[in-house]
Amino acid sequence: MNSHFNFLKLGLVGWPLEHSFSPRMHNAALQTLGLAGEYRLYPIPPLPEGITALSELLDRMRQGELKGLNVTIPHKQNVLSLLDDMTPAAQAIGAVNMIYFQGKHLTGNNTDAPGFLADLTQVFPSIFQKPASTALVLGAGGSARAVVYALAQAGWQVMVAARRVQQAEELAASLTLDRPTSITLSTSRVTPLQLQESTFALPFSLLVNTTPLGMFPNIDPSPWPGRVLFPADAAVYDLVYNPPETALLRAARIAGLPTANGLGMLFEQAVVAFETWTGRPAPRVAMRNALALDQEKR
């Protein structure tokens, strides 16, 4: 390990970041393994306002000041042009959620896709027993790209509904899959407040919210309006984990549907990132305990 990495400086870049549980989880991992270092937040506004700060942060990483970064909304695609290389998964998905050094190359990876799928199989094992399952993904940003990629690679039919239909169309057109694409798109313009029941005439067994709607501190909005009924046998997964139960998950629970938030996905992708940055097995129990403690404090 290079001398300037004896103190491991890790962090998360995105906007906003007040909701994040990542620092407590990664700092607990560092402490448990006796590694000198810190994981901190780097709030950088959306582009174009934040482009200079984002470029400067990655330059600091190139200069050895930082060992590794996680990337969250809204910068998962913004960082692509600022990197030296990407893993095959990140290239296929077209979004990055972690950055590390591969040799001297600043490399982007996407651990959201395997993290999401790993958690999904744990929280909703029964839905994987249904043939030709269909999922409806709300949103078309960087997180949505990872979710759609993971589901499509696992053989799901995927529908994408986004506030900006053009963004959803670009997602479907640009996503690189190892198998023939099974992505279908909503055909009418969809906004969080104007979902049309006719848009979702096809039944689906999984609803995934990848938008930040309902995230702390603005916890009241939901991407799914109350007047639209959920399919009777669907499961609902919200990538938002703070608050633990969003307005979307509460409505789904009241409707009698199984629900899960994105805390498990956060944990699974964090384990991969930590092990990549440190070269050490992640202390999963300590990281899980840190997440539980963080939830209690909120």
Which residues are designated catalytic?
76
Q: Are strands 134-138 and 206-209 parallel, antiparallel or unpaired?
A: parallel
Closest alpha carbon to 175 in 160, 195, 197, 162: 160
Euclidean distance between CA atoms 26 and 283, whole angstroms? 10
Asked if 144 and 212 touch (Cβ cutoff 8 Å), the reply is no
Looking up tokens 């990407």, which residue turns up?
Answer: 86
Pull the structure tokens for residue 277.
């940055």
Closest alpha carbon to 269 in 155, 146, 169, 171: 146
Angle between helices 284-297 and 263-278 (to 10 degrees): 140
Asked if 78 and 72 touch (Cβ cutoff 8 Å), the reply is no
Within the chain, what is the greatest distance between any pair of CA atoms?
A: 60
Asked if 146 and 116 touch (Cβ cutoff 8 Å), the reply is yes
The helix, strand and coil proportions of the chain, stated in percent and rounded to the nearest 5, come to: 40, 20, 45
Host H or E run for residue 105: strand 105-109
Peptide bond preceding 114: is omega within 30 degrees of 0, i.e. cis?
no
